[in-house]
Chains A and B, each alone.
Chain A
Amino acid sequence: MNEPQINLKTTVLDDGLGLISAAGYINNEGGQAVADAASELVGGGCNSLVIDLDGTRIINSIGVSILLEIMEKIMEGDGKLAFCNLTPTIAKTFEIMGLDQYAGIFPDREAAVTSFAIDGTT
């Protein structure tokens, strides 16, 4: 279970919608890397984000708190945040820690991106 360091990839999908693919351990280092990627996308004009956690199996409490801060920042900019490809354990963690109250949780990337198109958020 020795997960590699977090592997990040950012993509601008559409006007105002950014995608972060994060695979690896989301702890203080991994979480900060995700936060930096989010800030870069927001600074580049993306007010809404999809964070794809395919390949991420463990998120610790510091990682969760960083994701909460990303969520706050996105909401303060009147944007939206969505997560997809969560393991059952991470999905349960998000539910308990309240992330699912303000961020969309989707089974896969396509469903997450489609939700923004339907909302017209982007």
Chain B
Amino acid sequence: MALPDLLRSADLALGGQSAVGLADDFLHQVVETTGSRAGILKAFDKDAARWPKSLSPQVEQATEGWSDVVFGDGQGGWSLRLLQPERLDEAVLKTIRLVLRAWDLSTELKRSRFDERYHLWELEAIRAIATTIGGLDDPGALAEELVAHLVALLGVKSAHLFLESSEEAVGRFGPKVLEPEAIDRARHEALVTDDVIALPLNAATGSLGVLVVAHKEARAGTEAFAPQDRSLLELFALQVTVALEYARLARESLERDRFRRELEVAATIQRHLLPQCPPDLPGFRIHGLSSPTRHVAGDTYDILVQDGGLVVTVTDVSGKGVGAGLIASGVQAGVRLLVPEDFRLEDLAFRLNGFLCGATDDNRFATFAMIRILADGCLYAVNAGHCPILVRRCDGGVEQITSSGLPLGILDGVIYRTERLNLRCGDTVFLFTDGLTEAENPEEEEFGQARLTDVVASSPCEEGPEAACEAIFGAVEAYTEGLPLHDDATLVAVQWLGTRSVEDGMG
């Protein structure tokens, strides 16, 4: 057999055929070309081919006359044993060396191509996870997707993603390799050994979980993790951290939106509980308003017609928000239920106080003012820790009905006192909350009770309660120079027109 036949193996190898597939034919050609009786081709001391194929190691050891040639300059660690070769000159050796070198190059080329494609695979996995992040807000599904990519790319026998629980993984593949205590430690400090890598998922809000991989596979068994494996895992950990943060923020945003909508519904319901328009009752002119607000208020007021007279209440619950709004609405409902024809105001306040003392567990209380004006102008009033009730006489004077007891809800069994006075024709009674007196100017100075009393005294009551209320709110707004009020503000004004007006109206 001629040397060109040997070179054909090199040509085939460079054409893409594997050395494994070519080794038998090549060795056969070498044995024939060198006139040998048998041959053994080895790569890194392992048999690559034997010719004849039936040549056993026992026969090899029992036979004498082997010539050994080591080709140490290539990648494959090739060596050749030929039995009693007749022709083993330099030309043959050079040809064999050339073929083996071609095989090495072919193998190296394939490995390079594989590595190059493997890096593309890494990029694809990262892209796929990034795409998944955009489409999933379920951490469980995201974890399964991530673990599947990790197992495939790193070639590990075990991969787990732990979030809140160190006992139960949200994404898992293969057996668990770390005890919960070790996972807890890895939440704060990475664990890296030859067999295991556990990385914390560090977010701005703290550690979100732990990503654990173990037992990297090799062609035969397992091998130690390489630095690039850790780098890849760190990249995945970063991605999953971003994904989890994204999912958390999305959930919180939805929750906030839902909560905001519920608050708006609650505020709407509360506004509808306020008197939509004052009752048209002969002998009285009435106007009430609360500062416009979109949130649930701790202020509320109510106006009821009772036996030809009026009952007016103003309630201000400590704090703001839904809790305060619920208590304010509860007081309003209680008053409506408890106002019988001849109910005494101090008894009503006593019962409301008892009810509230058992209804709140967070030290909330309600200041409460209530008046009853009979058709003849007789005024009864009870004030439970509330701002003074102002009676603006038609001659411009202002009288105050101050508190006779603690606010409702602080101490059970409090006795309240009902004040009584007679209104004169044209007198106007004002009930308000401290949102008005505590309104601040840009220098953070409060409007104050004295200033409010002065404004009430000078308000145009002769034009009716609506004009008076507008003047009072206008004065407060001018004082604050347009700054928003810190608290809810409520103002109700009732003007008694005298018994003659009733008779005139009836006539």
Contacts and interface: CB of A to CB of B under 8 A. Distances in A.
B128 A89 contact: yes
B108 to A, nearest CB: 15
Contacts of A25: 151
13 contacts: A1-B172, A2-B172, A27-B155, A28-B218, A60-B153, A61-B121, A61-B153, A61-B155, A69-B18, A72-B18, A73-B18, A97-B114, A97-B118
Contact of B18 (A3, A59, A76): A76
Given A57-B148, A76-B18, A62 B219 contact: yes
Contacts of A68: 114
A1 B148 contact: yes
Given A72-B21, A93-B124, A96-B117, 20 more contacts: A2-B172, A2-B173, A27-B155, A27-B217, A28-B217, A28-B219, A58-B152, A60-B153, A60-B154, A61-B152, A65-B114, A68-B114, A72-B17, A72-B18, A73-B21, A76-B17, A89-B152, A93-B121, A96-B120, A97-B121
B157 interface: yes
Interface in A1-34: 1-3, 25, 27-28
Contact of B117 (A57, A62, A89, A97): A97
Contacts of B174: 2
B18 A96 contact: no
B94 interface: no
Nearest to A26: B152
Contacts of A98: 113, 117
B183 interface: no
A64 to B, nearest CB: 8
Contact of A1 (B147, B153, B156): B147
Nearest to A69: B18
A61 B151 CA distance: 9
Contacts of B120: 96
Nearest to B117: A97
A60 B124 contact: no
A1 B144 contact: yes
Interface residues of A, number: 24
B62 interface: no
Interface of B: 16-18, 21, 113-114, 117-118, 120-121, 124, 128, 144, 147-149, 151-157, 171-174, 217-220
A59 B341 CA distance: 85
Interface string A77-115: 000000000000100110011100000000000000000
Given A60-B152, A62-B219, A76 B21 contact: yes
The residue in B128, B147, B217, B218 that gathers the most chain A C-beta atoms within 10 A of its C-beta is: B217
B171 A1 contact: yes
Contacts of B155: 27, 60-62
B124 A58 contact: no
A72 B21 CA distance: 9
Contacts of A57: 148
B124 A96 contact: yes
A9 to B, nearest CB: 23
Contacts of A62: 155, 217-219
Nearest to A61: B155
A70 to B, nearest CB: 11
Counting from the closest, the 10 A-B pairs by CB-CB distance are A60-B155, A76-B21, A97-B117, A96-B120, A96-B121, A1-B173, A28-B217, A61-B155, A60-B152, A72-B18
A98 B16 CA distance: 14
Nearest to A28: B217
Contacts of A58: 148, 151-152, 173
Interface string A37-80: 00000000000000000000111111001001100110010000
Contacts of B114: 65, 68, 97
B10 to A, nearest CB: 16
Most buried by A among B17, B149, B151: B151
